[in-house]
Amino acid sequence: MTLMPLTLRIALRNLRRNPRRSFYTIAAIAFGLLCLLVFQSLKVGLHREMVASTIGLDAGSLQIHARGYQPNLAVLKPLPDPAKVEAALRRTGCTAFARRLKTPALLLAGKESSSVLLSGIEPGREPRVTFIASKVVAGAYPAAGAGVLIGKPLAKALEVGVGDKLTLMAQSAFGRPVYRRFPIAGIYRSALASFDRSHVYLSLGDLQNFLDAKGVVTEIAARFPLSQVAAKAASLRRALPAAQYNVSTWQKIAPDVVQLISLNDATMGVLIVIVFAIVALGIVNTMSMVVFERFRELGILAAIGTSPGRLVAMIVLESGCLGLLAAAVGTLLGLGACWWLGRYGIDLTAFTSHNQYFATSHVLKAHLLVRDLVAANLITLATALVGGLYPAWKGARLEPARAVRHV
């Protein structure tokens, strides 16, 4: 048996001397850890939802355009040699990619009209990049010659349904205005009404014909696991000449999402500091009481030869034991809360129905990462240890002669 186990025994037995105080202190620390786990897991869930919405709605993990391409311009900027781009994508191991042709257009139905972004898509490959195909609520995803897919809010505003005809007006590849009537092949509804009102789909071939732009595509969107995006983008940038191509990751396509995630992280950081500063003050208070109550004992321990460092270790160890017990309790409670929030989530429809970051679902679900669980426990333990340091230092600096007189 070394000295540390006896010191540990003293620390643990001291915790039992005032069980009510120990209970409340442990409860306070555990509550701090519970808050940290819940906030952090909800934040991760929120970020995952935001990224999934951004990628799955339209952006994909990355997009490749011709150099100088700008979205929403009526003048088409064709992607040079799309087959070369696809070959480069295949070499990176990517199988989920799709060609697109995008142009702004005016949609007319009877007396009503609406400006939209028209996307020519490959019906066979696009669903592997975005989730719109899974959001079709009437009719079908637009196959070649089948017509257009419009959003439900737009269909409602124009008072049209599947099988009705619409007129699309746009600018051809040669700069001439063109218009044509298309039947409505299907109606989709994502969770984002503003998107549904402004995005219309038809097959790539149909749009190329409509715009007199045979074989033209303006972008290729691809999808990778999130963790691979940066590496794949770097690989593609090496493979495709920068003078001709521009490879944009979802972060570049949607910088607002990236900024919002950073802002959330910073806000969470501040929140964590505040919560744990309160926890630390609670520990300092408890351990100060402990030192005050045990003036005489500390004096005796010092008098019989315990070094100041050993006294500090003894008090910090007691504080650490509080932290450890609290970490165990907080982790159990936190895991339970995160499991429940991960399974059932919080319905935020009232707050997010017009929010572009909730295009897949309005239910915010917790997602607890192992690294967050470990970090939260380490923060809790560190707080307990640091919180015990000052009272321990005060305790170790007691004059033994003065302390043993204390009653």
Partner 1 sequence: MLLDLNQVSRTYARHQGVPVTALHPVTLAVGPGEFVCLAGPSGSGKTTLLNLMGLIDAPTTGTVTLAGQPTHCLSRRAAARLRLRTVGLVFQEHNLIPVLSAFENIDYVLLLQGLPARQRRQKVYHILDLVGLGDLADRRPGELSGGQQQRVAIARAIVTAPALILADEPTASLDSTTGRGVMDLLRRLNREEGITCVFSSHDPRVVGRADRVITLRDGRIVGDGRPAGG
Q: Could you list the residues that contact partner 1 (CB under 8 A)?
A: 1-3, 6, 9-10, 13-14, 17, 296-297, 299-310, 399-402, 404-405
Report, in Å, the least distance between residue 280 CB and partner 1: 25
CA distances from 174 to 78, 98, 178, 213 (A): 12, 24, 10, 8
Q: Which residue, 180 or 397, has its beta carbon nearer to partner 1?
A: 397
320 within 8 A of 15, measured Cβ to Cβ: no
Rounded to whole angstroms, how far apart are CA atoms 330 and 115? 53
Q: Which residue, 257 or 314, has its beta carbon nearer to partner 1?
A: 314
Contacts of 398 (CB under 8 A, 6+ apart): 295, 298, 299, 302
Q: Which residue, 9 or 180, has its beta carbon nearer to partner 1?
A: 9
69 within 8 A of 98, measured Cβ to Cβ: no
Report, in Å, the least distance between residue 13 CB and partner 1: 4
Q: Which residue, 294 or 367, has its beta carbon nearer to partner 1?
A: 294
Q: Which residue, 9 or 238, has its beta carbon nearer to partner 1?
A: 9
Report, in Å, the least distance between residue 231 CB and partner 1: 54
Report, in Å, the least distance between residue 314 CB and partner 1: 10
Token readout for 226 is 């999130």
Reduce the DSSP state of residue 99 to 3 states and report it. strand
Report, in Å, the least distance between residue 298 CB and partner 1: 10
Reduce the DSSP state of residue 283 to 3 states and report it. helix
- CB atoms < 10 A from the CB of 217, how many? 24
Report, in Å, the least distance between residue 394 CB and partner 1: 14
Rounded to whole angstroms, how far apart are CA atoms 220 and 96? 10
Q: Which residue, 179 or 292, has its beta carbon nearer to partner 1?
A: 292
